[in-house]
Structure 1
């Protein structure tokens, strides 16, 4: 579908990555808890803008590699499978720290938008993720439309999940964030899923 191979796995992997608490997720939860829904929505906009910049940079590089170096593109597919497995192993092994929410005066959504944008841009591993992730679901003859469709999928799925955090799940997420057992279980399950994706995609790319 949309010239994306392993389409179901692609969507599932994006959703799993959204469920892993990262700097962007924490920035959104922090903004909503401290200053309300408008602040949370501002943080969502900032996070999406930062991720979009890294996606465009990653896609520009991948397009160049696809057109001129097919062998390197094939190597990126294997690297992507290994990278997914490595992230999964990290999630299985790393300790899960307890969150320590604090207090601060209510601020506007624009302030949190800028903060979340800065948080997103200071995480260059996001671009590495996209460089490793996208080739796993592309055929060597894929067009720029495929790259655009993948970027659109990631952006829309991220938007829906982050809006849910703000509008529906924030109260529950804030409670779970201070429960190490719940956070540990979610992190370990995500790790198992990513290792499984890495193995499955490596077998498909043989």
Structure 2
């Protein structure tokens, strides 16, 4: 199919990867809890735009460039870790009467998840290693093949984000009547974001 081999396996593998807990997932859940369905969908589009940029950078050979210049790779890792830690710290230090750690405006949610996605240079390496597994060398059609995979990634990410957003929004509506639970979940999200930032640095 357009130079793609075992398309069904590609879809299943990517869905599994989407479901793995990570900073993007926690940002999506937090955005929905703070901004409702609009916030969750905006966050989803931030992830989609970030993934598309990283995927095409990988196709263009940026992974090889990062491998040739380790300092650039490390700098991006530190920047990404610092951003995650900053978001997590705002959640941990906020008080019940404070303004939300994340502004309740869709564009802010999209910008934050976009930055979280883009500031993970390992994603470029991942795409560089993952995509070739499903490309048929004998039937490869260049940009058409990778474009087909890119569209698939975008559609699957949107579907996943929509499901998570609707589920989280329904759950959040019930939890808003219990402030203590809401605060505990925000603290947990803050700890997780800081933890992902630390992991990004120590796993170099």
Structure 2 CA distance, aligned partners of 1:26 and 1:34? 12
Residues 5 and 136, structure 2, Cα contact 8 Å, conserved in 1: yes
Partner of 1:15: 15
SS of equivalent residue, structure 1 residue 15? helix
Partner of 1:143: 141
Shift of 1:115: 0.9
SS of equivalent residue, structure 1 residue 134? helix
Structure 1 CA distance, aligned partners of 2:169 and 2:24? 14
Structure 2 CA distance, aligned partners of 1:42 and 1:169? 14
- TM-score (normalised: structure 1): 0.60
Shift of 1:60: 2.1
> RMSD of aligned C-alpha atoms?
2.9
Structure 1 CA distance, aligned partners of 2:17 and 2:34? 25
Deviations 1:141-197 (A, max 9, x none): 31121111111111110111011111235545999xx7xxxxxxxxxxxxxxxxxxx
- The answer to whether residue 153 in structure 2 is matched with residue 154 in structure 1 is yes
**Structure 2 CA distance for partners of 1:167 and 1:136, relative to 1, 3 Å:** same
- The answer to whether residue 115 in structure 2 is matched with residue 118 in structure 1 is yes
Partner of 1:127: 124
Runs of 4+ in 1 over 3 A off after TM superposition: 100-104, 168-175
Partner of 1:199: none
Structure 2 CA distance, aligned partners of 1:122 and 1:163? 23
Structure 2 CA distance, aligned partners of 1:38 and 1:7? 32
- TM-score (normalised: structure 2): 0.61
Structure 2 CA distance, aligned partners of 1:119 and 1:28? 11
